[in-house]
Amino acid sequence: MAMRTECRHFESRTYANGDAMRRCRLDLAPDAPWRCPDQCPKFEHRAVDIGWAHGSVVPTATPTEPESVKDGTAASVLGEAEAIINAMAEDIAAELKEKKNKKKKRKRK
C-alpha cells in the first residue's frame, strides 16, 4: 500500500533544494517513503489541520520504488543503518555533555 498521506502519523517536508522527506512519525513504515504496511495497527485518519500553515508549493512526486523494497532488503539495510546511528548517538550525547561540563567548570574559575 502506498504511503497514507491521510494518516495523522504521516509527515512530509519539502526542503529549499527541492528534496522531500516523507515518513511515519511512529516509525511503523519500514518501506517509507514508498509504502505503509497493509494493515497498520496505528492508522488513524487525520482529523483537522488546525493551525497548520499550508504552502503553495506542491511536493515532488514520490520517488520510484526500487526493487529492494519489493524483496524486503531495503528494510533490513535501513534497520542496520538505524542501529549504527543509535549506537553512535549515545557516544555523541556523552561527548556533548562532557564539553558542556568543561565549559561550566571554566566559567566558575
- Look at residue 56 and tell me if it is in a domain: no
User: pLDDT class for 81, splitting at 50, 70, 90?
Assistant: confident
Total tally of structural domains belonging to the chain: 1
State the Rg of the chain over Cα: 19
Q: Omega of the bond prior to 33 within 30 degrees of 0, cis?
A: yes
- Look at residue 67 and tell me if it is in a domain: yes
Predicted confidence at residue 55, as pLDDT, reads: 63
- Look at residue 55 and tell me if it is in a domain: no
Q: Which domain holds residue 40?
A: 10-48+61-108
Q: What distances in angstroms separate CA 79 from CA 10, 36, 64, 68, one per listed residue? A: 19, 16, 20, 13
- Look at residue 44 and tell me if it is in a domain: yes
- Look at residue 2 and tell me if it is in a domain: no
- Look at residue 70 and tell me if it is in a domain: yes
Predicted confidence at residue 72, as pLDDT, reads: 72
CB contact at 8 A, 46 and 27: no
- Look at residue 29 and tell me if it is in a domain: yes
User: pLDDT class for 98, splitting at 50, 70, 90?
Assistant: very high
- Look at residue 53 and tell me if it is in a domain: no
Residue 79 CB partners (closer than 8 Å, separation 6+): 30
Q: What is the mean pLDDT of residues 74-85?
A: 82
> Of 32-36, 46-50, 54-58, 92-96, where does mean pLDDT reach its minimum?
54-58
Structure confidence by residue, pLDDT tens digits, 41-54: 899 887 766 666 66
